[in-house]
Amino acid sequence: MIWMAPLAAGIVALATLPPLVALYFLRLRRTRRVVSSTMLWVRATEDLHANTPFQRIRFSLLLLLQIIALALVALAIAQPHADLGEATAKRVVMLMDRSGSMGATDAEGGSTRLDEAKRLARARVEQLHEGGLFSAKAPTIMVIAFASDAEIVCPFTDNAARLRAAIDAIEPTDETTRIADAFELARAFTTVTNPDNAAATPAEPPAYELYSDGLVADASSCALRPGESVVYRRVGEIGAGNAGLAALAVARTPDRPDEVEVYARVINWSPQPWASDLELRVDGTIRAVTPEPVEVPPRSSDPATGRLSPGQSQVIFPSLALPRGGVVTVRAVKGDLLAADDRASVVAAPQVALRVALVGRGAFVIRSILDAMGLAELDAMSVEAWDDLVAKDPYTPDQYDAIVLDAVAPAVTLRGHYLAFAVPPRIEGLVPFGTKSNAVVRSVREGHPLLQFVNLDDLFVASMTAVAAGGDAEVIVEAGEGPLVLTLRRGPLAVVCVTFDPMESNWPFQRGFVNFFVNALRWVAAGGDAVSEEPLVPGQVARARIPIGARAVVVSTPGGSATALEVHDASDISFGPLRMSGVYELSWDGPANPSGTNSESVAVNMDSAGEGLIDAAETLGFAAQRVAGIVGGATSRSALWPWFLLAALAVLMLEWWVWLRRV
């Protein structure tokens, strides 16, 4: 039992019960008697003048009923509630899931799960602040919205209007779900720092209320601390199915550079098979449709672990002529509950002539490939000449789309896009420590753009430079002796480093070397940036390179809004995080980019493999505790004060009946 206003009840009881009893003490009582003569009325007349103010109180059923009625009214004013197992703490933290799966439209009236969660949270705020004038002090509430990261949308407050406004302002995202940051944020506001002791001591733990479909990827790694409890308010249907596009890639074939091939992977999280036509669009225009629906098998479960795996199907569209590039979008015609993963986009880079600087010896095999690529500009020079140019103008590297370093390392490598062979550039994080012999490939980064149409099974390296790579370097090809190919992106710097001389290997005699060289040159020319080729996932930050002198830079979102950007370095622009899937456009005034346009596009696709499962979880398991979900409409307390008022009314009716009988 929870009493919302016990003080008010005590005041009412003290103000009514003692006066009622006092009136019965002071009440003049006469005994009805039968007399034989009116002469005896003299005694009754004298009694009127000599009545004792306080007499021994006698039992009265009417008095008892009136005391009971007043007591029931006082108890009703105390606003008793029956606790259904979720006692209200002094502080409540509402955790609002706004991840991609919360965009599923299986809530009441076809609304999204997030809309339903916000409705329930608003109702919960009203419930915790109900009671009006006689209510006790409401708990303070904090609202945290989380997806791939967490954000405080309202700090601890007891202002119901402010809480409702904060809940309404929560925006949906297409991101994955991580709850650890939300717990850390809440705990940061529920600790007390002792000025005499540097260590923070925990205050009274808050009551966590989680509004989610329970599809939280890192819940099993989150441990609740002593005294903490979580109420899981489930939204979404158990057994809901969904299918979507998990991957989309566009590749140019080296022998037909004006054409692109489009690859799509469709997954199905439903327990039943799924089929749909797929349509291919380029810049919004339909270019192809699958000749028959693509059939995807149902999901499967691992008998040992019970882990679910989606059914998958691969689709390859016929080659398209796309010399100027564009935004390639594949869409499933058959819709479902989650629309965000029913389409995926990728930006196909235009086939443009590059401006390349060849620094170093200019080996025959490298020079031959460059000459055959039809470059817009090729400047060959020694490393000394290059160092002189950079010393005069540090922005010289920005004048070239790519710089090929053939067995040399320039004195300064702070900016620019480099493809280096044999000798690693002088960059912090790439430390050479000798040479190794007779290396063979042990592992490769499957699916990386550098390795399209590249087979390294037969690669043999007679001599290589051993390199210790820093944390921001990504190893693409590795031998037992160390990295063979690695990449590094750091602000205006993008590097592909091949740690061996191709002439010290059998690679130049394989077709894969030409494919790798072309892939690597175009990758570094794009700055290793996802703006050109690889789509982002929601929550990531986009990076772009625009011409020097560009002004009035604006980012347009898939929803149609536009935001101006302040540009400090045109060679390295960052914007985001981009929380919704779709195509974002970066536009500017001034010089055009190499493709002749004043815009760049960024594709953001939902991670359907991570968020496409929308089968709401009946229970949510933390590290050492499993919490059962409460269906959205359930409440944590039941008000009992109306029943006390009804009981008081019933007692008053009984008292009236007893009085009538006596009269």
- The span from the CA of 607 to the CA of 516, in Å, is 28
Q: What share of the chain is helix, strand, coil (3-state, %, to 5)?
A: 25, 35, 40
Closest CA relative to residue 240, chosen from 266, 211, 270, 276: 270
Which whole number is the average pLDDT over 146-172? 94
Residue-wise burial string across 147-172, b where 16 or more C-beta atoms lie within 10 A, e elsewhere: bbbbbbbbebeeebeebbebbeebeb
Which whole number is the average pLDDT over 437-451? 88
Q: Which residue has the higher pLDDT, 307 or 257?
A: 307
| pLDDT at position 531 | 33
Q: Which two tokens stand for residue 72?
A: 């029931």
| pLDDT at position 136 | 52
| pLDDT at position 379 | 94
Instruction: Kindly report the number of other CB atoms within 10 A of residue 14's CB atom.
Output: 11
CA 305 to chain centre: 26
Q: Which residue has the higher pLDDT, 354 or 232?
A: 232
Which whole number is the average pLDDT over 574-580? 91
Q: Would you say residue 102 has pLDDT above 80?
A: yes
Contact 389, 407 (CB under 8 A): no
Q: What is the pLDDT of residues 457-515, one digit of tens each?
A: 899 999 999 999 887 889 999 998 999 999 998 878 889 999 999 999 999 988 889 98
Q: What is the pLDDT of residues 409-428, one digit of tens each?
A: 999 998 899 999 999 999 98
- The span from the CA of 169 to the CA of 171, in Å, is 6
Region of poorest pLDDT, from 184-188, 385-389, 544-548:
544-548
CA 630 to chain centre: 22
Specify the pTM.
0.67
Which whole number is the average pLDDT over 568-587? 87
Instruction: Kindly report the number of other CB atoms within 10 A of residue 587's CB atom.
Output: 17
Q: How confident is the model at residue 637 (pLDDT cuts 50, 70, 90)?
A: low
| pLDDT at position 557 | 93
Q: Would you say residue 59 has pLDDT above 90?
A: no
| pLDDT at position 37 | 65
Instruction: Assign 587 to helix, strand or coil.
Output: strand
To the nearest whole percent, how much of the chain has pLDDT over 70?
84
| pLDDT at position 134 | 45
Region of poorest pLDDT, from 282-286, 314-318, 624-628, 636-640:
636-640
Q: What does 258-284 look like in DSSP terms, one character per residue?
A: EEEEEEEEEEE-SSS-EEE-EEEEETT
**Under CATH, domain 355-525 is a member of which superfamily?**
Class I glutamine amidotransferase (GATase) domain (3.40.50.880)
Residue-wise burial string across 405-416, b where 16 or more C-beta atoms lie within 10 A, e elsewhere: bbbbbbeebebb
Q: What mean pLDDT value characterizes the chain?
A: 84
Q: How confident is the model at residue 172 (pLDDT cuts 50, 70, 90)?
A: very high
Q: Would you say residue 153 has pLDDT above 50?
A: yes
Domain segments of the chain as ranges: 2-83+642-662, 91-239+614-635, 243-351+607-611, 355-525
* Topology match between the domains 243-351+607-611 and 355-525: no
Which whole number is the average pLDDT over 241-263? 82
Cis status of the peptide bond prior to 432, with omega within 30 of 0:
no
Q: What are phi and psi of 623, to 5 degrees?
A: -60, -45
Instruction: Assign 49 to helix, strand or coil.
Output: helix
Q: What is the pLDDT of residues 75-93, one digit of tens each?
A: 777 767 665 544 467 889 9
| pLDDT at position 85 | 45
| pLDDT at position 307 | 85
Axis crossing angle, helix 364-372 with helix 511-525, rounded to the nearest 10: 70
Q: Which residue has the higher pLDDT, 251 or 319?
A: 319
In order of 233, 631, 633, 636, the CA distances from 147 in angstroms are: 17, 21, 23, 26
Contact 530, 514 (CB under 8 A): no
* Sheet with 207-212, side-by-side order of all strands: 150-157, 140-146, 91-97, 207-212, 229-234, 626-631, 619-621
Residue-wise burial string across 532-558, b where 16 or more C-beta atoms lie within 10 A, e elsewhere: bbbbbbbbbebbbbbeeebeebebbbe
Which whole number is the average pLDDT over 160-167? 94
Helix count (H) and strand count (E) of the chain?
11, 39
Q: Which residue has the higher pLDDT, 444 or 5?
A: 444
| pLDDT at position 50 | 45
Q: Would you say residue 286 has pLDDT above 70?
A: yes
Region of poorest pLDDT, from 78-82, 528-532, 558-562:
528-532
In order of 53, 84, 91, 137, 245, the CA distances from 140 in angstroms are: 53, 20, 5, 9, 43
Which whole number is the average pLDDT over 360-370? 89
Q: Which two tokens stand for residue 9?
A: 């009840």
Closest CA relative to residue 20, chosen from 69, 77, 76, 79: 69
Closest CA relative to residue 350, chosen from 603, 605, 593: 593
In order of 166, 311, 383, 405, 423, the CA distances from 464 in angstroms are: 59, 43, 21, 16, 9
Q: What does 176-208 look like in DSSP terms, one character per residue?
A: ----HHHHHHHHHTSEEE-TTSSSEEE-SPPEE
The CATH number of the domain covering residues in 91-239+614-635: 3.40.50.410
What's the chain's Rg over C-alpha atoms?
38
Which whole number is the average pLDDT over 605-629? 89
Q: Would you say residue 529 has pLDDT above 50?
A: no
- The span from the CA of 424 to the CA of 483, in Å, is 11
| pLDDT at position 532 | 40
Q: What is the 3-state secondary structure (H, E, C) of 502-552?
A: HHHECHHHCHHHHHHHHHHHHHHHCCCCCCCCCCECCCCCEEECCCCCCEE
Domain 243-351+607-611 belongs in CATH node 2.60.40.420: no
- The span from the CA of 400 to the CA of 377, in Å, is 9
Q: Which two tokens stand for residue 408?
A: 């040399």
